Amino acid sequence: MRPTLIAGNWKMNGSLQSVIELVEGIKAGEAGKVKLVVCPPAVYLMKVGGMLDGTDIALGAQNVCDAQAGAYTGEISATMLKECGCEYAIVGHSERRALYQESDELVAHRFAMAVASGITPILCVGESLEERELGVTEAVVARQLDAVIEQQGIAALVQSVIAYEPVWAIGTGKVATPEQAQAVHEFIRHKLAALDQQVAERIQILYGGSMNATNAGDLLSKPDIDGGLIGGASLKAVDFLAIGQSV
Protein backbone atom coordinates (compact mmCIF):
# COMPACT_ATOMS: atom_id res chain seq x y z
CA MET A 1 0.00 0.00 0.00
CA ARG A 2 1.26 3.45 -0.87
CA PRO A 3 0.93 6.02 1.92
CA THR A 4 -1.49 8.87 1.22
CA LEU A 5 0.02 12.31 0.66
CA ILE A 6 -2.02 15.49 1.00
CA ALA A 7 -0.15 18.58 -0.21
CA GLY A 8 -1.38 22.15 0.03
CA ASN A 9 -0.30 24.50 -2.74
CA TRP A 10 -0.96 27.95 -1.30
CA LYS A 11 0.01 29.64 -4.58
CA MET A 12 0.41 33.45 -4.22
CA ASN A 13 -2.02 33.83 -1.35
CA GLY A 14 -1.88 35.16 2.19
CA SER A 15 0.23 37.51 4.26
CA LEU A 16 2.79 36.87 6.96
CA GLN A 17 0.02 37.05 9.55
CA SER A 18 -2.42 34.76 7.75
CA VAL A 19 0.32 32.26 6.94
CA ILE A 20 1.27 32.05 10.63
CA GLU A 21 -2.37 31.52 11.57
CA LEU A 22 -2.79 28.84 8.92
CA VAL A 23 0.26 26.90 10.09
CA GLU A 24 -0.85 27.19 13.72
CA GLY A 25 -4.29 25.91 12.75
CA ILE A 26 -2.87 22.92 10.86
CA LYS A 27 -0.48 22.06 13.69
CA ALA A 28 -3.26 22.22 16.26
CA GLY A 29 -5.58 19.93 14.28
CA GLU A 30 -5.78 16.24 13.48
CA ALA A 31 -4.67 15.14 10.02
CA GLY A 32 -5.74 11.52 10.26
CA LYS A 33 -3.55 8.84 8.72
CA VAL A 34 -2.08 10.89 5.91
CA LYS A 35 1.23 12.66 5.33
CA LEU A 36 0.80 16.42 5.03
CA VAL A 37 2.92 18.80 2.98
CA VAL A 38 2.47 22.58 2.79
CA CYS A 39 3.86 24.71 -0.03
CA PRO A 40 3.79 28.37 1.00
CA PRO A 41 4.99 31.29 -1.14
CA ALA A 42 8.81 31.26 -1.19
CA VAL A 43 9.25 34.32 1.03
CA TYR A 44 7.50 32.48 3.87
CA LEU A 45 9.42 29.20 3.57
CA MET A 46 11.93 29.93 6.36
CA LYS A 47 9.20 31.10 8.72
CA VAL A 48 6.91 28.16 8.02
CA GLY A 49 9.84 25.71 8.11
CA GLY A 50 10.74 26.94 11.59
CA MET A 51 7.14 26.58 12.74
CA LEU A 52 6.99 23.00 11.42
CA ASP A 53 10.17 21.90 13.22
CA GLY A 54 9.44 18.87 15.37
CA THR A 55 6.19 18.04 13.55
CA ASP A 56 5.46 15.41 10.88
CA ILE A 57 4.29 18.06 8.44
CA ALA A 58 6.68 18.54 5.53
CA LEU A 59 7.61 21.76 3.76
CA GLY A 60 7.48 22.17 -0.01
CA ALA A 61 8.34 24.90 -2.51
CA GLN A 62 6.13 25.92 -5.42
CA ASN A 63 8.95 25.84 -7.95
CA VAL A 64 12.72 25.36 -8.22
CA CYS A 65 15.31 26.85 -10.56
CA ASP A 66 16.74 24.73 -13.36
CA ALA A 67 20.25 26.00 -12.61
CA GLN A 68 22.50 25.56 -9.58
CA ALA A 69 23.56 29.19 -8.98
CA GLY A 70 24.43 32.40 -10.78
CA ALA A 71 22.78 35.12 -12.85
CA TYR A 72 19.14 33.97 -12.69
CA THR A 73 17.32 36.99 -11.29
CA GLY A 74 14.20 36.05 -9.40
CA GLU A 75 14.91 32.34 -9.26
CA ILE A 76 15.59 30.14 -6.22
CA SER A 77 17.95 27.18 -6.32
CA ALA A 78 17.28 23.71 -4.98
CA THR A 79 20.16 24.10 -2.52
CA MET A 80 18.57 27.26 -1.13
CA LEU A 81 15.24 25.49 -0.80
CA LYS A 82 16.95 22.63 0.98
CA GLU A 83 18.49 25.13 3.41
CA CYS A 84 15.00 26.44 4.15
CA GLY A 85 13.96 22.90 5.08
CA CYS A 86 12.09 21.95 1.92
CA GLU A 87 11.57 18.24 1.37
CA TYR A 88 9.35 18.71 -1.68
CA ALA A 89 9.12 21.09 -4.65
CA ILE A 90 6.29 21.40 -7.12
CA VAL A 91 7.53 21.48 -10.73
CA GLY A 92 5.61 22.07 -13.94
CA HIS A 93 2.43 23.38 -12.36
CA SER A 94 0.00 24.26 -15.14
CA GLU A 95 0.01 27.89 -14.02
CA ARG A 96 3.79 27.98 -14.54
CA ARG A 97 3.44 26.23 -17.90
CA ALA A 98 0.62 28.51 -19.12
CA LEU A 99 1.39 31.91 -17.56
CA TYR A 100 5.19 31.75 -17.63
CA GLN A 101 5.69 29.60 -20.72
CA GLU A 102 7.60 26.84 -18.93
CA SER A 103 8.26 24.16 -21.53
CA ASP A 104 8.30 20.39 -20.96
CA GLU A 105 12.08 20.54 -21.34
CA LEU A 106 12.53 23.32 -18.77
CA VAL A 107 10.27 21.46 -16.34
CA ALA A 108 12.46 18.37 -16.76
CA HIS A 109 15.54 20.45 -15.87
CA ARG A 110 13.80 21.83 -12.79
CA PHE A 111 12.83 18.27 -11.84
CA ALA A 112 16.48 17.20 -12.15
CA MET A 113 17.74 20.01 -9.92
CA ALA A 114 15.31 19.03 -7.18
CA VAL A 115 16.33 15.36 -7.34
CA ALA A 116 20.03 16.27 -7.32
CA SER A 117 19.53 18.18 -4.05
CA GLY A 118 17.54 15.47 -2.35
CA ILE A 119 14.23 17.30 -2.76
CA THR A 120 11.26 15.26 -3.93
CA PRO A 121 9.77 16.90 -7.01
CA ILE A 122 5.99 16.90 -7.34
CA LEU A 123 5.72 16.78 -11.12
CA CYS A 124 2.42 18.24 -12.35
CA VAL A 125 0.85 16.99 -15.56
CA GLY A 126 -2.58 17.48 -17.03
CA GLU A 127 -4.62 18.47 -20.05
CA SER A 128 -6.59 21.62 -20.84
CA LEU A 129 -10.33 21.54 -21.50
CA GLU A 130 -9.71 21.84 -25.23
CA GLU A 131 -7.30 18.90 -25.14
CA ARG A 132 -9.79 16.78 -23.19
CA GLU A 133 -12.53 17.58 -25.68
CA LEU A 134 -10.19 16.68 -28.55
CA GLY A 135 -9.60 13.31 -26.88
CA VAL A 136 -5.85 13.83 -26.47
CA THR A 137 -5.65 13.72 -22.66
CA GLU A 138 -3.42 10.63 -22.61
CA ALA A 139 -1.17 11.95 -25.35
CA VAL A 140 -0.64 15.24 -23.47
CA VAL A 141 0.09 13.53 -20.16
CA ALA A 142 2.41 11.06 -21.89
CA ARG A 143 4.31 13.89 -23.59
CA GLN A 144 4.75 15.74 -20.29
CA LEU A 145 6.01 12.57 -18.59
CA ASP A 146 8.25 11.57 -21.48
CA ALA A 147 10.07 14.91 -21.35
CA VAL A 148 11.30 13.99 -17.87
CA ILE A 149 11.83 10.28 -18.53
CA GLU A 150 13.81 10.86 -21.74
CA GLN A 151 16.02 13.51 -20.12
CA GLN A 152 16.48 11.95 -16.67
CA GLY A 153 15.74 8.26 -17.13
CA ILE A 154 12.94 6.30 -15.50
CA ALA A 155 15.05 5.63 -12.38
CA ALA A 156 14.93 9.35 -11.48
CA LEU A 157 11.20 8.99 -10.90
CA VAL A 158 11.80 6.76 -7.87
CA GLN A 159 12.42 9.94 -5.92
CA SER A 160 9.38 11.80 -7.18
CA VAL A 161 5.65 12.29 -6.87
CA ILE A 162 3.34 12.89 -9.82
CA ALA A 163 0.30 15.15 -9.62
CA TYR A 164 -2.40 14.76 -12.25
CA GLU A 165 -4.09 18.14 -12.44
CA PRO A 166 -6.57 18.58 -15.27
CA VAL A 167 -6.35 22.29 -16.05
CA TRP A 168 -10.14 22.58 -16.47
CA ALA A 169 -10.62 21.44 -12.86
CA ILE A 170 -8.15 23.87 -11.26
CA GLY A 171 -9.80 26.67 -9.33
CA THR A 172 -13.05 26.14 -11.24
CA GLY A 173 -15.03 24.07 -8.74
CA LYS A 174 -15.39 21.53 -11.59
CA VAL A 175 -13.80 18.43 -10.12
CA ALA A 176 -12.96 15.43 -12.29
CA THR A 177 -15.19 12.48 -11.41
CA PRO A 178 -13.41 9.75 -9.45
CA GLU A 179 -13.71 7.58 -12.59
CA GLN A 180 -12.21 10.23 -14.88
CA ALA A 181 -9.32 10.81 -12.48
CA GLN A 182 -8.74 7.11 -11.85
CA ALA A 183 -8.59 6.43 -15.61
CA VAL A 184 -5.74 8.91 -16.10
CA HIS A 185 -3.92 7.79 -12.94
CA GLU A 186 -4.13 4.20 -14.15
CA PHE A 187 -2.85 5.24 -17.55
CA ILE A 188 0.14 6.96 -15.89
CA ARG A 189 0.92 3.94 -13.72
CA HIS A 190 0.67 1.53 -16.67
CA LYS A 191 2.93 3.76 -18.73
CA LEU A 192 5.55 3.76 -15.97
CA ALA A 193 5.13 0.02 -15.39
CA ALA A 194 6.09 -0.66 -18.99
CA LEU A 195 9.47 0.91 -18.18
CA ASP A 196 9.97 -0.06 -14.54
CA GLN A 197 7.53 -2.11 -12.52
CA GLN A 198 8.97 -1.04 -9.17
CA VAL A 199 8.80 2.66 -9.91
CA ALA A 200 5.20 2.25 -11.03
CA GLU A 201 4.18 0.41 -7.89
CA ARG A 202 5.89 2.80 -5.51
CA ILE A 203 5.26 6.21 -7.01
CA GLN A 204 2.53 8.32 -5.43
CA ILE A 205 0.16 9.84 -7.98
CA LEU A 206 -1.84 12.74 -6.55
CA TYR A 207 -4.99 14.24 -7.97
CA GLY A 208 -5.34 18.04 -8.09
CA GLY A 209 -8.23 20.22 -9.23
CA SER A 210 -11.00 21.49 -6.94
CA MET A 211 -10.43 18.72 -4.42
CA ASN A 212 -12.12 19.45 -1.11
CA ALA A 213 -13.38 17.70 2.01
CA THR A 214 -16.65 16.77 0.29
CA ASN A 215 -15.23 15.06 -2.81
CA ALA A 216 -11.87 13.83 -1.43
CA GLY A 217 -13.18 10.60 0.09
CA ASP A 218 -14.50 9.26 -3.23
CA LEU A 219 -11.42 10.34 -5.18
CA LEU A 220 -8.99 8.91 -2.64
CA SER A 221 -10.82 5.57 -2.52
CA LYS A 222 -9.71 4.85 -6.09
CA PRO A 223 -6.81 2.40 -6.33
CA ASP A 224 -4.42 4.64 -8.26
CA ILE A 225 -5.18 7.94 -6.49
CA ASP A 226 -2.61 8.21 -3.70
CA GLY A 227 -3.33 11.69 -2.45
CA GLY A 228 -4.16 15.22 -3.42
CA LEU A 229 -2.54 18.48 -4.44
CA ILE A 230 -4.92 21.04 -3.02
CA GLY A 231 -5.20 24.71 -3.94
CA GLY A 232 -8.16 26.69 -2.60
CA ALA A 233 -9.18 24.20 0.08
CA SER A 234 -5.66 24.19 1.56
CA LEU A 235 -5.96 27.84 2.62
CA LYS A 236 -8.18 27.07 5.62
CA ALA A 237 -6.76 24.73 8.24
CA VAL A 238 -10.08 22.98 8.95
CA ASP A 239 -10.77 22.35 5.26
CA PHE A 240 -7.25 21.08 4.61
CA LEU A 241 -7.29 18.78 7.64
CA ALA A 242 -10.76 17.49 6.73
CA ILE A 243 -9.35 16.23 3.42
CA GLY A 244 -6.81 14.15 5.36
CA GLN A 245 -9.49 12.88 7.67
CA SER A 246 -11.61 11.72 4.74
CA VAL A 247 -9.18 8.87 4.01
Instruction: Please identify every residue annotated as catalytic.
Output: 93, 165
230 binds ligand 13P (CB under 6 A): yes
9 binds ligand 13P (CB under 6 A): yes
Residues in contact with ligand 13P, total (CB under 6 A)? 14
211 binds ligand 13P (CB under 6 A): yes
Q: Using the minimum distance from each CB to ligand 13P, give the nearer residue, 31 or 175.
A: 175
User: Helices 178-193 and 137-152: crossing angle, nearest 10°?
Assistant: 30
3-class state of residue 168 by DSSP: helix
> What do you get for the CA distance between the two ends of the chain, in Å?
13
Q: Using the minimum distance from each CB to ligand 13P, give the nearer residue, 97 or 189.
A: 97
Q: Name the β-bridge partners of 58.
A: 37
Residues 149-188 that bind ligand 13P (CB under 6 A): 165, 170-171
Cα–Cα distance measured from residue 127 to residue 160, given in angstroms and rounded to the nearest whole number: 20
Q: What is the 3-state secondary structure (H, E, C) of 83-99?
A: HCCEEEEEECCHHHHHH
Cα–Cα distance measured from residue 5 to residue 230, given in angstroms and rounded to the nearest whole number: 11
Phi/psi class of residue 74: alpha, beta or left (left: φ > 0; alpha: ψ in -120 to 50)?
left
Q: Which of 92, 121, 209, 227 binds ligand 13P (CB under 6 A)?
A: 209
Among the residue ranges 47-55, 131-139, 190-198, 228-236, the one whose residues contact ligand 13P (CB under 6 A): 228-236
40 binds ligand 13P (CB under 6 A): no
126 binds ligand 13P (CB under 6 A): no
117 binds ligand 13P (CB under 6 A): no
- Report, in Å, the least distance between residue 97 CB and ligand 13P: 12
- Residues 113, 78 contacting (CB under 8 angstroms): yes
Q: Using the minimum distance from each CB to ligand 13P, give the nearer residue, 49 or 126.
A: 126
